[in-house]
Structure 1
Amino acid sequence: MTQIAPLAPRPDVLDFLLTRRSRPAKTLTTPVPDRGTVETLLTAAARSPDHGKLEPWRFIVLQRDACARLASLARSLGTARTMDANKLEKDVRAFADAHLVVAVVAAPKASDKIPEVEQVMSAGAVCLALVNAALAAGWGANWLTGWMARDAGFLAQGLRLAEAEFVAGFIHLGTETVAPPDRPRPDVGALTSWVET
C-alpha cells in the first residue's frame, strides 16, 4: 500500500481563517470581480462538502441591472404586504446599491440516503466557502439572506426558482470602501465540551 505524505502545514491559510472578516454589503462598490474571477471563486466554493455528490445547490450571478430589478420587485412585494417601511427600505437597498451578487440556490434532490437537512447544510457551506474565497482573493464579500431568500413570490418572479428551491445566501461581492472593525467573537471555551470516554 502506498504511503501518503502528511499534509504540509499552511500557517498563512490558518492565519487568514483566524482573522477573516466579512465586509458589510452596503460598503461594497465597484470595481467588482470580472467573469473569469467569479468563475474561479465559484469553482473554489463548489469544493464544499457534498455528501452523496448530489450537488444540491447552484449559482445565479446577478449583475447590476438584475440587482436593480430585484430591488424593484422587493419594494413592490413588500409594499403590497404592508411591511414595516424602514425594514423594507433596508432590504430594498441591499439590492439597489449592489453591483454584483451571487445567489447560492439550495436545490435539494430526492434521495433515500442523504437527508434534506444535510443537503441544505451543504448549500450553507458553499456560501461560506464563496465568501472566504472572495476575501482570500482580495475582494470584499458579505453573506445576506432576508425574507426574500425564502419568499415564494420573490423567488418565482425574481429568480424563476422551482418550488422546492430557496436562496441559502445572497453573496455580495465588490471592492471594500471601509475596513470594518472586528466584532466580539464567541468564547470557544464556553461552547466546547471535551469528552474522553
Structure 2
Amino acid sequence: MDALQLLLNRHSNPRLNAPAPAGEQLENIFKAGLRAPDHAGLTPWEFIVFEGEQRALLGDILAAATQAKGEDADTIDKARKAPMRAPMVITVVAKVKPHDKVPALEQHLSAGCALMAMQMAAQATGFNGVWRTGWFAFDRGVHTALGLSEQDQIVGFLYLGTPQVAVRNVPERETTPFVRYFGQ
C-alpha cells in the first residue's frame, strides 16, 4: 500500500491479539514518531512502552486513579483490565520544554502527530491499533505514577497488536463541508 492509500484508508482497530510489533518493526514505528513536525527541534516526546506483564502495572495505575475518583468496584476492575486489550500499550507524552517561540500547545500537537505517525507505521507493517485518551491522560495521579513532570501531558495511549478481525470500510467523506476558501 502506498503512502497516500495508507492515509486515505486510516482506521483504528481495537480488536488486537499478539504478537505486537517487535525488533525492527517496533524500531521503525518509533522512528516514524520521531519524524513528527518539531518546531525548533525540541523533540517534545516520550514513548512509555508497556508489554507483557508490564501491562498489569499500567492497569494497577489506572485502577488506583479510578479508585481515587471514588468509582465502584466494577469500574475499578474495568480500568485495571483496560491495558490487557492489546499486547502492547505505548503511552505518548508531550514533554513540554520552555521556549519563546514554541508554546506548549504546539508541543502537544507535535506529540499527537508522533502518535498518529506511529499508528500509521504500525498499520503499514501489518499491525494496527487504536489511540485512546480519556480522563486518565489528564489525571495527576497517573502522571505521578508514570514519573511525569508537572508540565508534561499524556496525549494518548496507543494500543498496538495484530488485528483479530478486518475492520469495516470507513465511508469516504466529502471535503466540502470542512473546507472554506477565504474571500470566496
Fold-level match, TM-score > 0.5?
yes
Residue-by-residue CA offset, 1:131-185 (whole Å, 9 max, x unaligned): 101101110111111222121111211x111121121111111011011223455
Q: Check the 8 A contact 2:111/2:155 in 1, yes or no.
A: yes
List per-residue Cα deviations over 1:39-85 (Å, max 9, x = no partner): 11100111111111111111111112221111122223312322366
Give the unaligned 5+ runs of structure 2: none
Residues paired across the two proteins, number: 184
Structure 1 contact 64–98 (Cα < 8 Å) conserved: no
Using the TM superposition, name which of 124-133 and 75-84 deviates more. Answer: 75-84
**Cross-structure match for 2:156:** 169
Q: Which amino acid aligns with 1:48?
A: A
Counterparts of 1:133 and 1:102, CA distance in 2:
14
Contact 1:67/1:100 (<8 A) preserved: yes
- Report what 1:193 is aligned to: 180
Structure 1 residue identity aligned to 2:128: G
Aligned alpha-carbon RMSD (Å): 2.1
Are 2:50 and 2:58, in contact at CA under 8 Å, matched by a contact in 1? Answer: no
Counterpart Cα distance in 2 of 1:137 and 1:119: 27
Alignment gaps of 5+ in structure 1 = 1-10
Post-superposition shift, 1:12?
2.5
Separation of aligned partners in 2, 1:183 and 1:85? 36
> 8 Å contact 2:138–2:153 — kept in the other structure?
yes
Percent identical across equivalent pairs? 36
Q: Any idea what SS the aligned residue of 2:40 has?
A: coil
TM-score of the aligned structures, taking structure 2 as reference length: 0.89
- Counterpart in 2 of 1:140? 128
